[in-house]
Amino acid sequence: MTSLLTLTNKDKKNRVIIVVLMIVLFIGLTNMFNNYRYKVDHGMKMTVESIAGHSLFMVRSTYDSILENETGTLTIEHIREIHTKLSVIEAYSDTVGRSVNTQLLTPITKDLKTISENMQQSYIENKQFTEADGTKYQTLLKKITALIPLIDKVYYVSDRYGPKVTLNVNHKEELVKFRETLKKYVSTLK
């Protein structure tokens, strides 16, 4: 009879040991899984930030190149070049929008392209640019000049190392207001 009780006590001890080992194993596996998931999530976030950062750099630098190449003389070649650059910006803007889950830049770029297309169409119809086209051109340059600081304000945050791309859009309402104003202007074009 005593041997049965002793065996039962050993079984109880073994069960307790097994349960404790299972709990420790479960905690360890859960911790490993969470660390792995954190590394994957962090890696994905860094990848998306990198893609968004490169795309924003390309958007900004292409807008800057439009302003820097401003010739002062309105030619069809120059307007076509601007239109091509705006097409490049549109593609990169779409990538930025997908990265931050908010398409703010793409509609703006499309409206700017509409201005350049309108000017090209006017040139084809009149065989030259009109005075109204000159006004459209100046408006296009002014809009781009106003847009660049908004891009910085919305898509970048400052940290101790300087500006850094953020996937959390800031001051979005200013860019939305800019977009609405531009859309109104584009709707008035003939």
Placement of tokens 């893609």 in the chain: 51
Nearby residues of 189 by Cβ (< 8 Å), 6 or more positions away:
114, 115, 118, 136
Bridge partner list, 159: 162
Asked if 136 and 119 count as a contact pair (C-beta separation under 8 A), the reply is yes
Asked if 183 and 111 count as a contact pair (C-beta separation under 8 A), the reply is yes
- As to burial, measured by CB atoms within 10 angstroms (0-12 exposed, 13-18 middle, 19+ buried), residue 148 is middle
In tens digits, the chain (190 residues) has pLDDT values of 445 455 577 777 777 788 777 887 778 777 777 776 766 666 667 777 878 888 999 999 999 999 987 666 788 999 999 999 999 999 999 999 988 888 999 999 999 999 999 999 999 999 999 999 999 999 999 999 999 999 988 888 777 676 777 777 888 899 999 999 999 999 998 6
Q: In angstroms, rounded to a whole number, what is the distance separating the alpha carbons of residues 91 and 109?
A: 9
Q: In angstroms, rounded to a whole number, what is the distance separating the alpha carbons of residues 27 and 23?
A: 6
- The half-sphere exposure of 145 on its side-chain side, counting CA atoms within 13 A, is 9
Output the six-digit token pair for 91.
């593609």
Q: In angstroms, rounded to a whole number, what is the distance separating the alpha carbons of residues 102 and 162?
A: 24
Placement of tokens 């420790």 in the chain: 24
- As to burial, measured by CB atoms within 10 angstroms (0-12 exposed, 13-18 middle, 19+ buried), residue 153 is middle
Maximum pairwise Cα distance, the chain: 114
Tell me the whole-structure pTM to 2 decimals.
Answer: 0.76
